[in-house]
């Protein structure tokens, strides 16, 4: 392992944020194993080893948590004394999507079951591995093997969807400070699952000594994220619809478009997450932008980037809370981090990437049917 800085396990490495984290960790000199049901959709994986499998399967999770050497021996039998825990685990794997998936109520049981099962499996199997490895360390000492000088640290990607609905009624003044989470009242089962899971990670930290770090993400967007099919987030959905539209056309927007959100570009999300993992601060902490805009303004921003005049056709649809914006006071204090990229610059990068994907003819001819502009988180 001398050629590598540390080892990292990225769960959900085929997804948007997970695939970007794999790239970042590898660039920093980590040996990285990526795990997901599917490979990244829009790029090749940068992981040293990518394992396809279902993290709801506890036996699979047990095997995934074991590092068997930097030649990638996941499928090989390795003597147990050579198995090590990972230095860091990044847990992004979850059942999620845009408003059309999260807020209809039709997918609540699936969302809660799948995501809770994954988090329970990861924490419990890591706890068992830690106990087993304590015994193995003693054997190593007898065999003149060095003792471990680290404990596996686990990052959990929570969501701003866990904040109470009653604090997000005024679109011009939502309260999303970390200490505003209770009394709990998320507006969706997705939010309740995120709240439960962050409490689960904190409980395993208190009772079993597992080092954890917890973030509450606020609408992360950027290139290589889902941009069609019904599970895309608002920035990608809007960029897609503007890209397909002619100047002067109208695109559909759910609601009156006056609901507010803030959106954080993916590179800044990754930087903030890495700072959190390298710190002694457990969280939970917001990772987001404080540049709050209405959805109508988000459409106008995409239109400006595209150089088009775009009208808005407001229609009924699932909306989520009326207003949501990150409050970054805590992360500035604890991690000395703040966002730098403007929304317009981030939308420009995302729009240009989507235009490149359209040029490859990787999407259906036109995605208007059933894919109206939506917002979640």
Active site residues: 190
Reduced 3-state DSSP string for the chain: CCCCCCEEEEECCCCHHHHHHHHHHHHCCCEEEEEECCCCCCCCCCCCEEEECCCCCHHHHHHHCEECCCCCCCCCCCCHHHCEECCEEEECCCCCCCHHHHCCCCCHHHHHHHHHHHHHHHHHHHHHHHHHHHHHHHHHHHCCCCCCCCCCEEEEEEEHHHCCHHHCCCCCCCCCCHHHCCCCCCCCHHHHHHHHHHHHHHHHHHHHCCCEEEEEECCEECCCCCCCCCCCCHHHHHHHHHHHCCCCCEEEEECCCCCEECCEEHHHHHHHHHHHHHCCCCCCEEECCCCCEEHHHHHHHHHHHHCCCCEEEEECCCCCCCECCCCCHHHHHHHCCCCCCCHHHHHHHHHHHHHHHHHCCCCCCCCCCCCCECCCC
How many Å apart are CA 133 and CA 146, to the nearest integer?
13
CB distance 269 to 17 below 8 Å: yes
φ/ψ (deg, to 5) at 137: -60, -40
Of the candidates 186, 184, 174, 21, which has an alpha carbon nearest to the alpha carbon of residue 91? 21
Query: Which residues lie closer than 8 Å to 343 by C-beta, 6 or more apart?
Result: 263, 289, 291, 293, 298, 301
CB distance 277 to 214 below 8 Å: no
What's CA 94's distance to the chain center, in Å?
8
């Amino acid at each position: 392992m001398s050629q590598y800085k540390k080892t990292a396990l990225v769960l959900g490495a085929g997804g948007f944020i997970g695939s970007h984290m794999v790239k970042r960790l590898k660039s920093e000199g980590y040996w990285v194993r990526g795990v997901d049901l599917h490979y990244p959709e829009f790029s090749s994986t940068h992981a040293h080893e990518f394992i396809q499998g279902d993290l709801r399967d506890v036996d699979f999770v047990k095997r995934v948590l074991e590092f068997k050497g930097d030649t990638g021996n996941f499928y090989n039998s390795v003597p147990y004394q050579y198995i090590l825990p990972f230095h860091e685990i990044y847990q992004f794997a979850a059942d999620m999507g845009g408003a059309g998936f999260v807020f209809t109520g039709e997918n609540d049981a699936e969302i809660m079951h799948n995501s809770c099962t994954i988090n329970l499996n990861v924490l419990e199997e890591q706890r068992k591995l830690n106990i087993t490895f304590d015994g193995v360390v003693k054997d190593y000492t007898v065999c003149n093997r060095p003792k471990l000088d680290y404990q596996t640290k686990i990052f959990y990607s929570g969501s701003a969807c866990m904040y109470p609905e009653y604090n997000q009624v005024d679109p011009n003044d939502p309260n999303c400070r970390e200490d505003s989470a209770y009394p709990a009242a998320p507006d969706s089962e997705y939010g309740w699952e995120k709240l439960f899971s962050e409490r689960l990670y904190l409980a395993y930290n208190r009772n079993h000594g597992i080092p954890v770090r917890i973030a509450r993400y606020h609408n992360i967007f950027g290139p290589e994220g889902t941009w069609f099919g019904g599970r895309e987030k608002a920035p990608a959905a809007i960029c897609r619809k503007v890209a397909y539209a002619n100047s002067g056309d109208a695109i559909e927007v759910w609601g009156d478009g006056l609901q507010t959100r803030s959106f954080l570009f993916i590179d800044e999300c990754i930087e903030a997450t890495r700072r959190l993992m390298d710190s002694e601060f457990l969280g939970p902490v917001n990772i987001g932008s404080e540049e709050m805009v209405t959805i109508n303004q988000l459409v106008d921003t995409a239109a400006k980037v595209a150089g088009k005049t775009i009208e808005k056709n407001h229609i009924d649809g699932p909306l989520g809370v009326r207003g949501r914006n990150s409050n970054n006071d805590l992360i500035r204090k604890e991690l000395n981090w703040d966002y730098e990229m403007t929304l317009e610059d981030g939308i420009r990068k995302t729009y240009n990437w989507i235009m490149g994907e359209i040029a490859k003819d990787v999407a259906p001819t036109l995605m208007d049917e059933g894919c109206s502009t939506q917002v979640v988180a």
